[in-house]
Amino acid sequence: DADVTQTPRNRITKTGKRIMLECSQTKGHDRMYWYRQDPGLGLRLIYYSFDVKDINKGEISDGYSVSRQAQAKFSLSLESAIPNQTALYFCATSDFRDSRNTQYFGPGTRLTVL
């Protein structure tokens, strides 16, 4: 079984709808991250969490919110989706003991906002 799972894998929604992307991990890592990937822009950090009570904004948090329900679960919400949020979204984890912050990624969610 995969260590980091994401649901759904694909989602098509309409402008203005609220959607939630979910991430679960079995790696036992405290740190979890949400990234967005767009062609030519690499991976950009949306939000990150170092433990259940810690939530931090990344470089592109506007229009997004997150919830850390448990050490193993970190969800990303789009309160009112807009077309420029169409992208590939990745969840990742890392071990706080790793000073290099090596990231372990889920398989991604492809989101299309019409």
Residues near another protein (CB under 8 A) are 4, 31, 33, 40-45, 48, 50, 58, 90, 92, 94, 96, 99-108
The minimum distance between CB 74 and another protein, in angstroms, equals 14
Q: Based on CB atoms, which residue is closest to another protein, 79 or 98?
A: 98
What are the angstrom distances between the C-alpha of 61 and each of 14, 27, 34, 64, 66? Answer: 20, 25, 10, 5, 10
The minimum distance between CB 66 and another protein, in angstroms, equals 15
Q: Based on CB atoms, which residue is closest to another protein, 30 or 86?
A: 30
Candidates 57, 56, 46; CA nearest to 92 is 46
Q: Based on CB atoms, which residue is closest to another protein, 56 or 80?
A: 56
Q: Based on CB atoms, which residue is closest to another protein, 41 or 114?
A: 41
| CB of 36 closer than 8 Å to CB of 105 | no
The minimum distance between CB 31 and another protein, in angstroms, equals 6
| DSSP state at residue 21 | E
Residue tagged 């420029």 (tokens): 84
| CB of 114 closer than 8 Å to CB of 19 | no
The minimum distance between CB 113 and another protein, in angstroms, equals 20
